[in-house]
Structure 1
Amino acid sequence: MTSADSTVAHLPKVELHLHHEGAAPPAFIRQLAHEKRIDLSGIFTPDGSYDFRDFAHFLSVYEAASQVLTGPEEFRRLTWAILEESAANGVVYSETFLSPDFCGGGDVAAWRDYRAAIQDAADEAEAKLGITLRGVVTCVRHFGPEQAKASARCAAETAGNWITGFGMGGNEGMHRQGDFAWAFDCAREAGLQLTTHAGEFGGPESVRDAVRDLKVERIGHGVRAIEDPDLVHELADRGITLEVCPGSNVVLGLYPDFNAHPIARLREAGVKVTVSTDDPPFFHTTMRREYEMLNRAFGWGPEDFAVLNATALEAAFCDEDTRARVEKRLEIT
């Protein structure tokens, strides 16, 4: 592995795949737990990082950490903390996955209050930090299709210029993509754009299921499509964009290191790929680190990342005025 070109780390960046609670700095969660006298022992390492063994354990630690986020004000504070960190890493546009399950339990009235608080912090961050945020409502796969309907209703009721998309995260080993068709149809009818996690632990067939059964425009991860050449061609032909999170994939054991990651092969095959952090403090990454590691592994330079950002901005779930505004921030002079 060669040394990184330091110039790539400082490029402006677009990020499409970021879980809101999963982006919470450990110190932020520990402080909230202290304020509320909530015992979170067992989810942190001695140095204060999140502690998990594998993907299933990661999900349980994620949900344990999220229990301290019990009201709109906590999410307002969290949103500022996330955007401050993202902006410090050069991100000029970000989309965040927001689950009504963690923001009011799927109740539409409660969700409206959470969304308003999050958007208020996002508006302040745009004015002060120069970073734009948009919200993608997500259902949680392992909570089941019925609970997903409640999340879809929340998304549909608040769809607009700020809540712009709908998707699904969670454990790919539970249920099928098609089991959530009602929720995705509901979101689509409300004018929301669609994405879903697939092709991470579910294998290439889960990607094909997502495209066929949910008719999504983007796929979260999707990297295991590389195992099926016909699927790779289909993704390229359809123009489906992959929200690729290389650092996350390496930490969770999908690939041994960045050099073995298929992002470069997918890109060379004509698939639209983008770069994101997923749950950055869990995976000890930032957007700067993702750029640095891709530069080391594949020799990608500023021109390559400019193409990746253009692809991401084209696939972003935002209106054309926002897209034009962000495009100006991406220009390198």
Structure 2
Amino acid sequence: MTDRHELAKIPKLELHLHLEGAAPPAFIRELAKRRHIDLSGLFDEQGQYRWQGFAGFLAAYEAACAALKTPQDYHDLTLIVLENAASHGVIYTETFLSPDFCGAGDIVAWRDFLAAIEAAAESAQSQSGIVMRAIVTCIRHNGPAQARKIAACAQETAGHFVTGFGMAGDETCFQPCEFSWSFDAAREAGLGLTVHAGEWAGPDAIRAALHDLRVSRIGHGVRAIEDRALVAHLAENGVVLETCPGSNVALGLYPRLRDHPVARLRDAGAKVTVSTDDPPFFRTDMTREYDGLAQSFGWGASDFAEIARTALDAAFTDAPTRAMLQKRLEEACPNQS
């Protein structure tokens, strides 16, 4: 199964998507122009995002966020992102939202931004059937004190739409234990927990995240492959890895997709899912991700059906939504359930 059109039609569940990181360059460029914000250095000659290395990517990401000022901006962005995801067969997406960018951590402002995003998600669901849930996300390099403010925002808005709490940002800053208060607060609010780990830091970072933050999912987590005992632990305990192969290759973590450990992790019994992370920054989408996996590892319909089931089981959502998504998967792939 290597035909791009057929791959696009496969129903997909994406658990690792940053909303601002999914903003099309043209959308950010137009907002910046309207507000007289000079972001000329952010784009290359083709109008795509320009960055170099992980630090450069983080800087480019935050520069793009400077153009996003109002709840209406986030409403419009959400509609565009979900429409694009649905065109690649995504039926469910969990999207990282950070109050750091939506109101600077102020709970009143956060509520306004969140309401706009949720309204757009409801519109997208009625138009294309895609379901969105939100993972409130603190930014690691902003420090533990700021993370507490973000956790408070998560606590105050936990519910049908806000279903998870996580942490992104520079993995080399601070230790997981310094954020335990924030994750404990989110856990008490009934939120699912995930954290970026094992991307730029090694296996010990994953172990620390599991021990100190007690998460059920790890964002990326691919460097677990360097520790056979850790992979066995992940498999035995059902820890789900939100792998983003295209992102890892674009950032230079692995030279080619065929060198990516996603297939080896899966073969070893670890639960893996597939996501795009920040698709326009990494020139990817869910169809490209699936095409790359098919080409590099020979994955076919049964493999992708298993990936979808793993994502559904790990999703931070309610039982009725899970049952509805399960039905959609069974209808689309009746022989793969």
Q: Secondary structure at the match of 2:28?
A: helix
Separation in 1, partners of 2:155, 2:201: 28
Q: Which runs of 5+ in 1 are unaligned?
A: none
Tell me the CA shift for residue 31 of structure 1. 0.8
What is aligned with 1:93?
92
Tell me the CA shift for residue 36 of structure 1. 1.0
Separation in 1, partners of 2:38, 2:326: 44
Separation in 2, partners of 1:265, 1:146: 38
Tell me the CA shift for residue 112 of structure 1. 0.5
User: What's the % identity of the aligned pairs?
Assistant: 59
Please tell me the root mean square deviation across aligned C-alpha atoms, in Å: 0.9
- Structure 1 residue 140 and structure 2 residue 133: aligned? no
Give yes or no for contact 1:16–1:276 (8 Å, CA) kept in 2. Answer: yes
Separation in 2, partners of 1:230, 1:9: 36
What is aligned with 1:4?
2
Q: Secondary structure at the match of 1:17?
A: strand
> Which residues in structure 2 correspond to 1:139-218 (within 5 Å)?
139-218=138-217
> Which residues in structure 2 correspond to 1:154-303 (within 5 Å)?
154-303=153-302
Q: Secondary structure at the match of 1:69?
A: coil
Deviations along 1:182-216, one digit per CA (max 9) or x if unpaired, are 11011011111100000000111110011000000
Separation in 2, partners of 1:92, 1:187: 26
Q: What is the one-letter code of the residue matched to 1:101?
A: D
4+ aligned runs moved over 4 Å, structure 1:
none
Q: What is the one-letter code of the residue matched to 2:241?
A: L
Give yes or no for contact 2:8–2:87 (8 Å, CA) kept in 1. Answer: no
Give yes or no for contact 1:165–1:194 (8 Å, CA) kept in 2. Answer: yes
Separation in 2, partners of 1:14, 1:58: 25
Separation in 2, partners of 1:111, 1:8: 37
Q: What is the one-letter code of the residue matched to 1:265?
A: R
Q: Secondary structure at the match of 2:42?
A: coil
Deviations along 1:63-90, one digit per CA (max 9) or x if unpaired, are 0100111111100000001001100111
Separation in 1, partners of 2:241, 2:181: 23
Q: Which runs of 5+ in 2 are unaligned?
A: none
Separation in 1, partners of 2:226, 2:8: 30
Give yes or no for contact 1:8–1:302 (8 Å, CA) kept in 2. Answer: no
Q: Secondary structure at the match of 1:70?
A: coil
Separation in 1, partners of 2:202, 2:79: 35
Separation in 2, partners of 1:177, 1:237: 22
Separation in 1, partners of 2:12, 2:91: 6
Q: What is the one-letter code of the residue matched to 2:205?
A: S
Give yes or no for contact 1:167–1:194 (8 Å, CA) kept in 2. Answer: yes
Tell me the CA shift for residue 329 of structure 1. 2.0
Q: What is the one-letter code of the residue matched to 2:58?
A: L
Tell me the CA shift for residue 5 of structure 1. 4.2
Separation in 2, partners of 1:116, 1:150: 19
Q: What is the one-letter code of the residue matched to 1:84?
A: E
Q: Secondary structure at the match of 2:166?
A: strand
- Structure 1 residue 113 and structure 2 residue 112: aligned? yes
Tell me the CA shift for residue 328 of structure 1. 2.0
What number of residue pairs does the alignment pair up?
331
> Which residues in structure 2 correspond to 1:7-156 (within 5 Å)?
7-156=6-155
